[in-house]
Structures are given as structure tokens and as C-alpha cells.
Structure 1
Amino acid sequence: MKCTQLLVMSSMTILSACKLDDFSEVKNYWPQAGVTYEIFVQSFNDSDGDGIGDLNGVTQKLDYVQELGANAIWFMPIMPSPSYHKYDVTDYKAIHPAYGTMEDFKNLLAEAHKRDIKIVIDLIINHSGSGHPWFEEARKGRDNPYREYYIWAQKDTIAEFINKKVITLDSDNIRQWHDPGNGEDFYYGFFIGGMPDLNYDSKKLRDEIYEIGRFWLEEVGVDGFRLDAAKHIFPDDRPLDNHEFWKEFRAKMEAIKPDVYLVGEVYDKKEIVAPFLPGLPALFNFDFHYTLLEALNTENGMLLAKKQKEILDFYLGITPNFIDATISSNHDQHRLLNELGSDADRYKQASAILLTMPGAPYLYYGEEIGMLGLKPDEHIREPFLWDVSEKDSGRTSWIKPNYTTDATVTPLAIQRNDPASYFNHYKTLISLRNTNPALAIGTLDLPEVEYPETVMAYHRVSSDQEVFVIHNLGKVEVLLDVPVGFEEKLFSLGQTTFAEGKVKLGKNASMVLGR
């Protein structure tokens, strides 16, 4: 493969691309390996000046998403809810009023599809909000027809469990049984009392859920769903029932839309996650996030590569057809730059690893401009900075930011004109991935050669391309031999040299070579 240098982003980041008759044609590998951009509408872009982001604001920024190179958008909840986060839904077939109307959303869909951008929405069906009409009816009494939509127990039967719970990765809520107000009957809510769990032993309830799915796929036209809290549809001691439900859900949705995209949130280790794959063909890889951080913070070069190889091989033992939804951060974790001690070199390398590894990577809004944030959750979901404050008409103001401000984060408008910015770095990497099939859909093969402890190295191999990727996660420069035949430099990050079969990598430097 012969390639020519196409673009010099800065002295620190160089991208080369092959001639058009080789691999430089941009391809859309979604959903198997495309890039999905996660948006919290409330903080993204305000089109009407009320301080709250809205759907028309997102429509205004679709060209930006396209410019970045993302193939799809995942929206955090957009349905009516009393909370800022909107995971306690009160109407499954409507749009939250502050976000706009259903017509606004359908217009957004149409405009996104014109740009070949798919739309995935959060579907929160493990629980409803306590203000949902179903629950308002169910709490009226044991004979109410909606009673069976939720999980109930009498006080004397659960007394010893009321204040007991095993803390899980995705919830630190101690109290799971909640009093609706009469002090006698308690309902189950895994997360909080305002989110009563739905009862999937009820066929009537399941049919309601399938109808909701049909509505969004058929009448509205979304491309798929992100399934919140997918592990908890049935209690954790009924895993087989969970697996069977999701297989049934998938069959129902595919009968409506054969190419529906389903990605599940199963927050656990691979042995627990993998059996969900037959029902949820895409699953978030939380191990990737945590291992990436550990590898960068401890300078353990091969930790992530070996872990990822182990996970992919394990999943292949369950099904040959799965989508590994990799993440470096999302709306439930501290912002990535904070996790890496605000070290710009490690931050850029984190994205270089994410976007050269196998999988279908998710990018949390604002990561591409280096947004900051620490929990509580509101402050990892702060407003996006489009421009300096006096010029930023789209900046939301529903919350006063503690971390992402003009003093701490450079707005997009300025980063666009800086070749060395985070934005141009992310844009370069996504373009690299979208123009090199080995980086998008290639296998992950680990070298047999022993490299220094700080070095992460791997091969990505597709039917018509092979690349060799190497990262130095350490602070000390390393000199390495390159496998025979890899002569074309496709990408480099940091202080690097490449000559006569040897690569020199400085602090948090990376290189991608092709042959």
C-alpha cells in the first residue's frame, strides 16, 4: 500500500492517507464499527434562548456532528420527566416540552438522515417514573388493573429486606423497597423511589413495552434504542429470565424494523455481560473504560490490549455477531480529562487508543473539546462551549458550571482554528478510522515480541489491509523495532521518529503504520 502525507495537523499530530484508489475513501462502518456521538440535549445547544438545550438546537448543529465524522447520535432521555436527567419517564410516547415537540424531533430525524447520521434514543424500560399514569393508578390499591405493572410486597413479608442491599457498580441506593404512602404495601425500585421497577412477569406490561418500541421505530422513525439498566429487567438472581426477555424484545423489534440497532447497558464483568448478547447484539464495554484509565495512569503498556483481546475472544464464544460498544467516558463517569489529571498528552493518547482499537466507539459530547467535570452527575453534564461567552448564543444556562468554563476550557470556535487543538485531534483520528478499514473492522492481534513495559502494541487486520499500532504510555522515550513490511506512516502523535525499521516514541507518543 502506497500512501502520501495528506495533512499536517501540527508538529504533534500528523495524519497521512492513502490515494483514493487505495483506502482514503470515507466509509460508514456503523453500526458494526462506526462512531456514535452521545448528546445530553439539555446542555448541548439552546435555539430559543430559554437556557435549556433543545431538539431544534441539535438540528442546528448536525453539520457539526457530520464535520466531526460521527456516524450516529445517541440521545440521553428526551421523553417527559420531572427531573433534569429524565430517566424517570412519565410519558413514553412524547417529547419533553422544554426540548420541543414531536414535529421538532421528526424534523431532526429527517435532517440527520439526509446527512447519513443515524439516531438512537434512550429507552428507559426497566422502570418508569413514579409520576407515570400507570404508577399513579397502581398505587391506588391492590385491585387496580395497573397494579400488576409494578412489583409489590406487604410490609410484613419484606421487613428484613427494607434496609438491606448489595451495592452494585451501577447503583449505591441502599433502599430498594419503597412506601407509596400507606405504610402497608411497598413497591420495588432498584435505583430510587421515584423510579419504580416494572413487572416483566406481566404479559400486559410486556405488550405495552413492545407497543412503545413499535411507536418509536415505525411511527417516528428512529434507528434504534439504547436500553438503560438492561441487567435489571428481572432481579439479578434471575439472569436466565433477563436473557430470555431480551431475546424476545429483539425479535419483536426486528419484526418491526429488521435492521434495528439495540445497545444495552449491562454494567458488570464480561462473564455477566456476554450472555446478554443474543438479545442485545451491542453492549457497552465498561471494562474498556476502566482498563484504559488504569493503563494510562500506571503506564502499563499491554494491560488494555490483552484485556480487550480476552473480552473479544470470550464474546466470540457466545456469538460471532456482536458489536463491542467501546467508551472512554460517558454521562455516568467523571470527565476523561479529569480522570487523567488534566494531562493533555495522556488525554490525546486516550482518544488515539480508543479510535484505533476494535469496536464501535462512543464519544461523549464535549470530550472533543476537553470538557471537564466531576460528580455529582449534573457537573459531568455541563453546557457545551460553542464560542466565547459573549458570542455564544447557543450556550445553555440551566446550570452554573463548576468545571467547564471559559477560564478552564477553550471553546470550539477557537479550537477549530488551532491545528493542535483537541477538536482537530479527534477529527483527525475519526477520519483516520473512517478511511482505513483495518482500523474500523480489522481483527485485534497481539505481537509476540516483548516490548518495554510502557509500550502498547497491536496489529489490526482486515481482508485488504493490515496496520501496526504502537503507543508509549510512559514518560521516558523508547526505541523499538518495527515488524518487517510496515513502511507507511498513517498517523503519529507526540514526539516521534521513524526510519530504517525503527520507531522512537517520546512521552505518550503513538504511531500507526501500514503496509
Structure 2
Amino acid sequence: MKQYLSQFILLVLTLTFACTGQKSGTIENHWPHAGITYEIFIQSFYDSNGDGIGDINGVTKKLEHVKELGANAIWFMPIMPSPSYHKYDVTDYKNIHPDYGTMDDFKLLIEEAHKKDIKIVIDLIINHTSSEHPWFIEAKKGRDNPYRDYYVWAQKDTIADYINKKTITLDSDNIRQWHDPGSGEDFYYGFFIGGMPDLNYDNPKVREEIYEIGRFWLEEVGVDGFRLDAAKHIYPDDRPEDNHEFWKEFRSKMKEIKSDVYLVGEVYDKKEIVAPYLPGLPTLFNFDFHYTLIEAFQKEDGMLLAKKQKEVIDFYQGITKDFTDATFSSNHDQPRLLNSLDENPRKLKQAIIILMTMPGAPYLYYGEEIGMLGKKPDEQIREPFLWDIKANDKGRATWIDPIYSIDETVTPLAIQKSMSTSYFNHYKDIIKLRNTNRALALGSLELYEGELPNPVMAYFRLHKDQNVIVVHNLSDIEHSIEIPDEYNKVIYTYGMADFEMEKVRLPAYSSIVIGTN
């Protein structure tokens, strides 16, 4: 207990935290267009049966945590049978990995989540299967096998110059793309690794198989939507138009099954590459937001992120008005946010304020709300959640020996709940603010056009007759700015920021939200 007392004192001393929350206002659920989704890696979340592996029943038991945090939906990383710990190589598209539980367990989870007004989104991995999938096992048997054309094959002499990638891509550092199944003659294409052979979407039978899988999960199981992994790679990179058309067709097929189906795509690239996917995938992850948020802190360049976000939104609107911008500060592929921000508690708290006061539909990665730590390799970014001190934590997963998120470095949730300055209570406060203020959730983004000190970020969120200005100081030096006189009602402050006579004073790493009367 002594270590938690010292952590508590450290937080109080370093954060000099002051918060004025919104005293009134109804909590609203703005999902999917502006709601909040909580990403869970089940294996590390909560172990309900003592086998060391998090499971579906464990999530059901902890749904109240998601609700208390203020999230409106859960995205589950892969839950289907797979030979790997991460399960991004599926062997059975219509089942649950046995380590996680049963299909009945999952249906119960959905039922209980829906009672709490929490939507359920699952990872759907359809760019590739596992090399242990029955389709691929059959396909390897020979050129005449009926499943051969479910995958992409080429004779060795025709691909000699293309076996390896020419460049490293943003979403894969694996060089080898063509793989020998053992014959030494015909090679199969696997963009990521040999254990993940790509499906052949030029084959109509493959597309029908995938649409049937979508129907199964939406209609028979009852999920609310899908996160589409590696959406950019359905067809090779030199066939982007075919990718765009496939996702339009996929969306149409899924909407026939569930008219309000939620689809969010992973297209890991710059906005010019991402935007054309919007007609098929109306929600796309905003990787620019994540990287620019961190860069803004590193450079102490306040308006860097605000300008980038305005640029992205305006660009998307030039493609279609029907889109949702899935913003995020971290995920299962990136170092933990606290690591990316120099393990500085004030920066982490300010980062989540920025995320929650910007337009978009924010995603939160499990454990960020208690300040979990983690760096590459990926396993260490996906370490077990700390629910309580180790001696009392019967649900803590033990499938991996954590290196970063341990009792000596991370204060467990049970302790944080009683700490007014904890990460968890900070997350709760700022999420509640967003969920009770329509300008912050739904408003348009307009940039502060006046002269600003370089570390200061300032922007307006405008929604009908409810407008706010949001100001952040991304440095450890105090700054001040003047704001328009119609903004005179302080809604929220962090880090001792204050306001008087049209002037905002911003101590180190402080933020303020001011509305109009």
C-alpha cells in the first residue's frame, strides 16, 4: 500500500490539477457519429475462470466499467479461432476462440451490453485467412482443387522479381510477399506474412463467402458492426479503385442485412489515400490525428493538430458528407500513449482533453484510462489490465509476464477510483463533459485566427446556438491569450487555467473550455 500512497502524492504534486466540470446537462449518446468506442483485447482484459486468459464472461462482468467510463460501444480485437495469440489469422469465421468462451457466452455478452446501451463491434479479418484455415489446407493440395482459386497463386518463374516488397509500408514491415507452400513451383501471395495468405477477391465465390460471414454475425449473433482490418489490402496496392468498389459492394450487402450496420475501416495511410474509401467505409480511423497529436507535444506546436484536423475534415467533406471521423490517441499497434508522451502525467491528461474536445468519434484503448504503459513488440502494448493490487486481483490475466504495466509502475483501477486526481477520474470527467455538451460532441471545427504563442492551441466548436472555445498550452511555460468577448462562461478548466476580462491565463500544460451565455 505504501507504493500507492507515494504514487498518489506524486500525482498531486505534479499535476496541480483543478477542474470545473459542467454542473448541468443531460448525458447523451452520440454514437456512432460522435460517440465513444472502447477497444478491448479480451485476452488481457478480465479472466473470469482462473486460467490466466481473459475471456468473454470476464468482459460481461466488467461492462459496468465501460459504462462508468462513459463509452457507448466496445470494439473487440479478434475473437474467432486462430493459432496465434493476437488472432488476426482466422481458422473458423463462424465460431469463438475456445480460450475466450462459447458462442452462447458471446450472445449473452451482447444482450447484457445492449441493456446498458453499449453497442458491440467485432474485428472482421477478411483480407487474409490463417494458413491453417480449411480453405487454404485444401488449396495447397493442387491446381485442380476447388479451393485453389480462393487464394492468389503464381508460378515461381513469373514472380521472381516480385517475391519481396520494394518498400516497407506503414502497416507492415515484413518484406516477403510471395510464399512457397512446399512445392517449390507455385507461390501464394501473403501481404503480411506466410501464415496469412491473402484471399482472391476476383473470385465471386470468395466474395459470397465473406458476405455470408457478415450475415452470420449481424443476423444470427447480433453484433452491431465490424471493424475491417487491413481494408486497404483487399486488392494489391496498384488496384486502389478495385478496393474502393469492393467496399461499396460490401457496405451494400451488409446494409441489406442490417440497415444501420456500423462499418469502420483500417486504411493506414495519408488522407488522400484514405478519403476515397469513405463511400464504402463511412467510418475510417484517423491515423493523422494520432501521429500529429504526439508530434504537437514533441514540437510544442499548438496549432499543428488543430490545423491538421481541420484539413482532414474539409478534405473528407469534399468526397462525401456521409462520414464519421474515428479519432484516436493510441491503439493496439502503437506504443502506449503515456510512453509516447515522455511518461508525463500532465501531457497524458491534456491529450485526452484534446481528443474529447475535437470533432470526431473518439476511440479509447483499454488501460489508457489508468495510465498503462507499453512499447513494441506488440505483446507488451497488450499487457493485462490492472483491476486491483496484485494480491486482490483475481481477474488479472497472466498469459504474459508484463514488463511495463506492473504494480510498481501503474496504479490499479480500484485504487484510482478513490483518488480525485487519478487518470481514471480525469477520463470520466472529460468524457462526461463531452457527452453533456453538444458543441463539443457535434459542433463544427473553426480555428482561432488571431496571433498565438507557438505552444498554444485554440479552436472553436460551433453547434446551432451552443458555441465554445477550447484553449490548450502544450508547454511547461505559462502563456496567455485574448478571446472574443462573447465567450464568458467557463465550462471546464484543467491545470489551473483561468479566465478574466476576455483574457485566458494558461499555466504549464493547462486547458480551458469557455462557452457563450
TM bracket (short chain)? over 0.9
Aligned to 1:3: none
Aligned to 2:22: 17
Deviations 1:302-330 (A, max 9, x none): 00000000000000000011000001000
Identity percentage of aligned residues: 70
Aligned to 1:36: 37
Aligned to 1:223: 224
TM-score, with length taken from structure 2: 0.96
Deviations 1:383-425 (A, max 9, x none): 0000000000000000000100000000000000001000000
Check whether the contact 2:302–2:473 (CA below 8 A) recurs between aligned residues. yes
1:226-245 mapped onto 2 (5 Å cutoff): 226-245=227-246
Aligned to 2:350: 349
Check whether the contact 2:330–2:337 (CA below 8 A) recurs between aligned residues. yes
Say which SS state the counterpart of residue 311 (structure 2) adopts. helix
1:122-271 mapped onto 2 (5 Å cutoff): 122-271=123-272
Check whether the contact 2:50–2:394 (CA below 8 A) recurs between aligned residues. yes
Deviation at 1:497, TM superposition (A): 2.1
- Unmatched segments (≥5 aa) in structure 2: 1-11
Give 1:235's aligned amino acid: P
1:465-504 mapped onto 2 (5 Å cutoff): 465-504=466-505
Following the alignment from structure 1 to structure 2, what is the Cα–Cα distance between the partners of residues 429 and 151?
48
Deviation at 1:11, TM superposition (A): 5.9
Aligned to 2:411: 410
Following the alignment from structure 2 to structure 1, what is the Cα–Cα distance between the partners of residues 409 and 43?
21
Following the alignment from structure 2 to structure 1, what is the Cα–Cα distance between the partners of residues 318 and 204?
32
Structure 1 residues 212 and 13: alpha-carbon distance in aligned structure 2, compared to 1, 3 A threshold: farther
Check whether the contact 2:254–2:261 (CA below 8 A) recurs between aligned residues. yes
Aligned to 1:4: none
Deviations 1:23-46 (A, max 9, x none): x10000000000000000000000
Following the alignment from structure 2 to structure 1, what is the Cα–Cα distance between the partners of residues 163 and 482?
61
TM-score, with length taken from structure 1: 0.97
Give 2:91's aligned amino acid: T
Deviation at 1:350, TM superposition (A): 0.6
Give 2:363's aligned amino acid: Y
Aligned to 1:89: 90
Check whether the contact 1:15–1:432 (CA below 8 A) recurs between aligned residues. no
Deviations 1:33-92 (A, max 9, x none): 000000000000000000000000000000110000000000000000010000000000
Deviation at 1:165, TM superposition (A): 3.0
Answering whether residue 364 of structure 2 is matched by residue 363 of structure 1, we say yes
Say which SS state the counterpart of residue 263 (structure 2) adopts. strand
Deviation at 1:18, TM superposition (A): 5.0
Aligned to 1:6: none
Say which SS state the counterpart of residue 74 (structure 1) adopts. strand
Moved over 3 A (4+): none
Say which SS state the counterpart of residue 97 (structure 1) adopts. coil
Following the alignment from structure 1 to structure 2, what is the Cα–Cα distance between the partners of residues 356 and 15?
15
Deviations 1:471-495 (A, max 9, x none): 0011110122121111111111102
Following the alignment from structure 1 to structure 2, what is the Cα–Cα distance between the partners of residues 429 and 15?
10
Aligned to 1:334: 335
Check whether the contact 1:13–1:425 (CA below 8 A) recurs between aligned residues. no
Aligned length: 503
Following the alignment from structure 1 to structure 2, what is the Cα–Cα distance between the partners of residues 143 and 182?
15
1:366-377 mapped onto 2 (5 Å cutoff): 366-377=367-378
Deviation at 1:219, TM superposition (A): 0.3
Aligned to 2:8: none
Deviation at 1:181, TM superposition (A): 1.0
Aligned to 1:276: 277
Say which SS state the counterpart of residue 244 (structure 1) adopts. helix
Aligned to 2:6: none
Deviations 1:178-234 (A, max 9, x none): 011111110000000000000000000000000000000000000000000000000
Say which SS state the counterpart of residue 215 (structure 1) adopts. helix
Aligned to 2:9: none
Following the alignment from structure 1 to structure 2, what is the Cα–Cα distance between the partners of residues 51 and 273?
39
Aligned to 2:443: 442
Say which SS state the counterpart of residue 211 (structure 2) adopts. helix
1:306-317 mapped onto 2 (5 Å cutoff): 306-317=307-318
Check whether the contact 2:47–2:58 (CA below 8 A) recurs between aligned residues. yes
Say which SS state the counterpart of residue 264 (structure 2) adopts. strand
Deviations 1:128-179 (A, max 9, x none): 0000000000010000000111000011111121234321000011100001
Aligned to 1:303: 304
Say which SS state the counterpart of residue 111 (structure 2) adopts. helix
